Amino acid sequence: MPEQTFYHQSIWTGRIEQEGKDPSSQYWHQQVKPFYAHKGEPGLAIIGLASDEGSVRSQRRLGTEEGPDAIRSSLCNLPWNRADQAYDMGNIVCTNKNLDKAQSEYSEAVSRALNNRMLPLGLGGGQEITWAGYQGLIEHLSLDRKSRKNINIGVINFDSCFDLQPSDKGASSTTAFRQVHEHCQQHHNPFHYLCLGISRTSNTRAQFEQADELDVAWLTDDQVNDDNYEFLIEELECFTGMVDHVYLSIDLSVFSGWQAPGVSEPSVRGIPLEVAETLLQVIKSSEKLRVIDVAEYNPKYDHDSRTARLASWLIHLLTSQEELMS
């Protein structure tokens, strides 16, 4: 079994609108159960990767290892808008600086959730969560195949940075998508990577050139605006249309520092929240979304839990079932 901290009922507490089990009056804290109570039915699987090691290796400010539980706390009092339940698999903890081990254990948890017909919801922690989650999706999709070839995954990343740094010196929070590229090359799978919100002040000219060499699709933060809706939606629909499965990662630093101060590297500009909302709805409506992660949350710098509330709002948007929201 992975080395992890398990579900804690003390985290999932909050207001109760009325007694009873009427799902229309329930909040998240009332619907989250321990994973061992799962009976094989569809639902959400909440998995944390509690790690600072990726930030250490990337020379970013520390504190991300406390992120998963802080996001859980922020989710507690949001209304539950699903017909099923959520199951908490706990946190995979990076100990003794062994990031590879933690990523492997997180990957196993994601694969287990998918095998149980659940939608994995990853809580970070640093961006190293994405390489781990991607491996879990590959493992799941490989179950009915003789190899890991011919798997067509599209990775969509809302982020101010490409995170394509070479991984030859070890994984970090800036190597995740280079590792995905290397895996695709090794197994002869197409590399589909779309990055939305790239900041020109957070990436060197060489990093832009590298992204182009690897055939990354990207849009800068100044292109992701409310005057560009038609183009943005068309780009997303084209991208999701050419893949079979979508892995979605949201680095919270893609939003402006005043909206998301609790991140490893706050952004000056960022992308508008209302535009992100529309784009996430487009991704969701593709019906190809297989794994979600929210990355780079650092509660140590989160004034008034502003970033945690943003993270929980995004999660609520992506996981609510529209027919139950009216």
Q: Spell out the per-residue pLDDT of the chain, length 326, in tens.
A: 344 555 667 899 998 886 666 778 899 999 999 998 898 899 999 999 987 665 565 556 666 778 999 999 999 999 999 999 999 999 998 777 788 898 999 999 999 999 999 999 999 888 889 999 999 999 999 987 767 778 999 999 999 999 898 765 555 557 899 999 999 999 999 999 999 999 999 899 999 999 999 999 999 999 999 999 999 999 999 999 999 999 999 999 999 999 999 998 899 999 999 999 999 999 999 999 999 999 999 999 998 999 999 999 999 999 999 766 55
Where exactly are the structural domains of the chain? 4-324
How far, rounded to the nearest angstrom, does the alpha carbon of residue 196 sit from its chain's CA centroid?
Answer: 14
Dihedral class, residue 215 (left if φ above 0, else alpha if ψ from -120 to 50, else beta): left
- For residue 58, what are its two tokens? 């990337």
**Number of other CB atoms surrounding residue 150 within 10 Å:** 12
What is the model's pLDDT at position 170?
Answer: 56
Is residue 92 within 8 A of residue 119, CB to CB? The reply is no
Question: Of 305, 219, 317, which Cα lies nearest the Cα of 262?
Answer: 305
Distance CA 244, CA 298 (A): 33
What CATH number should be reported for the domain whose range is 4-324?
Answer: 3.40.800.10
Q: Count Cβ atoms within 10 A of the Cβ of residue 20 and give its class: 0-12 exposed, 13-18 middle, 19 or more buried.
A: exposed
- The pTM for the full model equals 0.93
Backbone φ and ψ of 323, nearest 5°: -65, -15
